Amino acid sequence: MTNPVTVRYMSRSEIESLMYSLTADSDNEQAQLFEAITRRLLEILESENR
């Protein structure tokens, strides 16, 4: 079960995997914003790894 406490102890790869699995409900603007921020952060991390 993933919750804010368990996320604190996850590895980077586990967090990245979790971030890729997120999908926001179309009627939830905050969730959509969080998904967009998360996907952008992943893009930034990937570009820094190159």
Q: How confident is the model over 31-47, as pLDDT tens digits? A: 899 889 988 988 998 89
Q: Which pLDDT does position 23 carry in this prediction?
A: 85
In order, the DSSP letters of 19-31 are HHH----TT-HHH
- The Cα 32–Cα 21 span in angstroms is 13
Distances, alpha carbon 18 to alpha carbons 29, 45, in Å? 20, 14
Q: How confident is the model over 12-30, as pLDDT tens digits? A: 888 888 888 888 888 999 9
Q: Which pLDDT does position 29 carry in this prediction?
A: 94
CB 14 within 8 A of CB 6: no
